[in-house]
Amino acid sequence: MNKNDLISSVAESSGLSKADAGKAVDSVLDNITGALQGGNEIRLVGFGTFSVAQRKATTGRNPQTGASIQIPASKQPKFKAGKALKDAVN
């Protein structure tokens, strides 16, 4: 399922127009992104938790040349599925 499929599904299940459903989906995604940028965690009970994980700087190797390279520290978005979502999938 891609974003357009999600918007169509939301529109059908909620009775909204596709334009309104698109705005709703975009708003939810923008708010999740904004909260993660601010360092916050988003908990949706029964669905899961979005958070930000810190990755340390490491030394890696270029596979083509074998040369050593520095991989800088970074922040990575993380999602942990909730019990209800895991149960629904299984």
Q: What is the pLDDT of residues 24-70, one digit of tens each?
A: 999 999 999 999 999 999 999 999 999 999 999 999 999 999 899 99
76 pLDDT band, cuts 50/70/90, is very high
pLDDT at 28: 95
20 pLDDT band, cuts 50/70/90, is very high
pLDDT at 71: 94
Sequence-separated contacts (24+) of 61-69 with Cβ below 8 Å: none
pLDDT at 55: 94
Residues forming beta bridges with residue 7, ordered by sequence position: none
Dump strand ranges (E) for the chain. 42-44, 48-55, 58-61, 68-71, 74-81
